[in-house]
Amino acid sequence: MNEIKNILKKSIKISQDVEISVQNILLLVVILILATIVLRILRRLITRKLPDEDKLKFKAVFSYATWFSYVIIVLVTLHAVGVNVTGVFAASAALLIGIGLALQTLFQDIISGIFILIDQSVHVGDIIELDGKVGRVEEIKLRTTRAITIDNKVLVIPNHLFLSNSLFNWTQNGTTTRESVEVGVAYGSDVQLVKELLLQAASNHKLVLKHPAPLVLFTNFGDSSLNFKLVFTLNDSFQASIPKSDIRFEIDRLFRENNISIPFPQRDIHIIQK
């Protein structure tokens, strides 16, 4: 027993100012093993509901965080057992501050990417709107998210924008969305006939869903027109501009056939002669 105690108390001189005992080395190994177990449990808890592809992405980032945690644990443990690591702490702090300032935006993007993977607020295939730009998400990476716009252009979005800006997810509640077309008719028009024609224009289009049924709202008495809104449901909001254009063509045709006029703004000018 005494021999074991003597071995444990035996010191190993690493440098002129740094000396560590075998007992402290064993303690450090035990702490690292416990930390590894805790980190693995934490990773499994975080990724248990993530898709397999997102799990691999998160695992890659988590491995870097794990090694960073090991370095901190080693330094703190050595300091706690009396090893002089003040110089190492000072050098590490200066290095981390320099790296943090140089790579601040990169770190923001990566951390935001981790939050996106964990929170699952955006998925591949979702149609999103950010800063007035609309696109279908094709790929979510740790630093950027790639989306395809309606014009078939690639939109590369830094992930930190998802946290700092308002994001509209058009398809999180499903692929169907409510769309609308607004039109104004001349005063004196038969509003019931206008309603019937608008519903007919929507019903005639093959991409407009029957349930929920289209509806017409009489929105306002405008300066030059009676304003209506035709509301209908589509199954693909990403291509909504095409059926909405088709419906406008159909409204114009039906109005012409039924003598419903779409007025242009009119103003009365009074000339005062002096």
* Residuewise pLDDT in 10s, the chain (274 residues): 555 555 555 565 555 555 566 676 777 788 888 888 887 887 777 777 666 656 655 665 666 667 667 777 777 776 666 666 665 555 566 566 665 665 677 777 777 777 777 777 788 888 888 887 888 888 887 778 889 888 888 888 888 888 778 888 877 766 678 889 999 999 999 999 999 999 999 999 999 998 889 999 999 998 889 999 999 998 877 778 889 999 999 999 999 999 999 887 766 666 777 6
Ordered by start, the domain boundaries in the chain are 2-102, 121-169, 177-257
Q: Using alpha carbons only, what angle is made at residue 167 by residues 165 and 172, rounded to the nearest 5 degrees?
A: 160
Torsion sign across C-alpha atoms 115, 118, 124, 127: negative
Global confidence as pTM:
0.54
Residue for token pair 């805790």: 38
What CATH code is assigned to 121-169? Answer: 2.30.30.60
Residue for token pair 């769309």: 179
For domain 177-257, the CATH class is: alpha beta
Backbone angles phi, psi at 130, to 5 degrees: -140, 120
Distance CA 84, CA 187 (A): 89
Question: What is the distance, to the nearest Å, from the Cα of residue 177 to the centroid of all Cα atoms in its chain?
Answer: 19
For the chain, the maximum distance between any two Cα atoms, rounded to a whole number of angstroms, is 121
Sheet holding 215-221, edge to edge: 177-185, 226-234, 215-221
Backbone angles phi, psi at 234, to 5 degrees: -120, 155
Radius of gyration of the chain (CA): 33
